Amino acid sequence: MNGEHQAYIGLGGNLGDAAGTVRTARQSIGALIGIRELAFSSLYRSAPMGPSDQPDYVNAVMKVATTLAPLELLHALQQIEQTCGRVRTGERWGPRTLDLDLLLYDELVLDSEVLTIPHPGIAEREFVLYPLAEIASNLKIPSRGPLRELVQNCPLRGLSVIAHD
Active site residues: 86, 96, 99, 101
Please, which residue, 107 or 120, has the CB nearer to ligand ROI?
Answer: 120
Binding piece for ligand ROI, criterion CB under 6 A, among 46-54, 61-69, 132-140, 148-156: 46-54
| Closest residue to ligand ROI in the complex (CB) | 12
How many whole angstroms separate alpha carbon 158 and alpha carbon 104? Answer: 25
- Report if residue 19 touches ligand ROI, rule: CB under 6 A: no
CB of 146 to ligand ROI, least distance (A): 23
Residues in binding contact with ligand ROI, number by CB under 6 A: 11
Please, which residue, 4 or 55, has the CB nearer to ligand ROI?
Answer: 55
Q: Work out which of 8, 12, 43, 74 binds ligand ROI, going by CB under 6 A.
A: 12
Site for ligand ROI in 56-95 (CB under 6 A): 57, 59, 93
Binding string, residues 110-129; x marks residues near ligand ROI by CB under 6 A: -----------------x--
Longest dimension (CA), the chain: 45
Cα–Cα distances in angstroms (integers) from residue 85 to residues 60, 78, 97, in the given order: 18, 11, 7
CB of 49 to ligand ROI, least distance (A): 4
Q: Work out which of 28, 46, 66, 97 binds ligand ROI, going by CB under 6 A.
A: 46
The H or E element containing residue 150 is helix 147-152
What are residue 108's phi and psi, to 5 degrees? Answer: -65, 135
Helix axes 18-30, 70-83, angle to 10 degrees: 140
Q: What sign does the dihedral 67-110-155-87 (CA atoms) show?
A: negative
Cβ neighbors of 52 (< 8 A, separation 6 or more) are none
CB of 110 to ligand ROI, least distance (A): 20
The H or E element containing residue 151 is helix 147-152
